[in-house]
Amino acid sequence: MPCSASGCSICSSLTNCSACADGYVLASNSCQACQTANCKFCGYGVCTECMQGYFLKPINQILGCASCSSINCQNCYTNGTCYECLSNYYLSKGGCIQCTDSNCDSCPSNNCLACIQGYVIPQTSNVCTPCLQNNCAVCDTNRECMTCISGMFLIDG
């Protein structure tokens, strides 16, 4: 149900919230912003999980969210060392390096394993190549569309 409550993701009425968006906590049918910067989930005034690219760390005797040590890091250990990079990046010596193929989604050791939506690694190449049809989300290795993007449908397929 749509509602006007700030920070609310699910409403039980126009002004009462039953679930909050990331960075907010539910209190008395309304959403209150977490007081810790870059906090994803909080409870009782304490951050319990940080946003992507941050980790929980005691800061001035309270738990805060500190930035991971590597740019383009998605998740890191409590010492800030990255263990998972964002899409189109791979982990190398504790840092995140961009894949050489900009249309690659997953490239451990810079070998593309999966492409972004609308691209495929064809049988004849090891580089992400666009699907033959426009508005295609997933295509086969011959680049023929198998699934369309949301709101579109296959014709003769």
Residues 119 and 108: their CA atoms lie apart, in Å, by 18
The pLDDT tens digits of the residues spanning 78-135 come to 889 999 999 899 999 889 999 999 999 988 888 888 999 999 998 878 899 999 999 9
The stretch 49-72 carries a mean pLDDT of 88
What Å distances lie between residue 3 and 13, 18, 30, CA to CA?
Answer: 7, 11, 11
Which DSSP state fits 144? -
Residue pair 45/35 in contact (Cβ under 8 Å)? The answer is yes
The pLDDT tens digits of the residues spanning 33-60 come to 888 899 998 877 788 899 999 999 887 7
Given a cut of 80, whether residue 153 has pLDDT beyond it is: yes
The reported pLDDT for the residue numbered 17 is 87
Residue with tokens 């590597």: 70
Q: Read off the amino acid at residue 62.
A: I
What stretches of the chain show up as alpha helix (H) in DSSP? none
3-state helix, strand, coil in the chain (%, to 5): 0, 45, 55
The three-state secondary structure class of 47 is strand
The reported pLDDT for the residue numbered 123 is 81
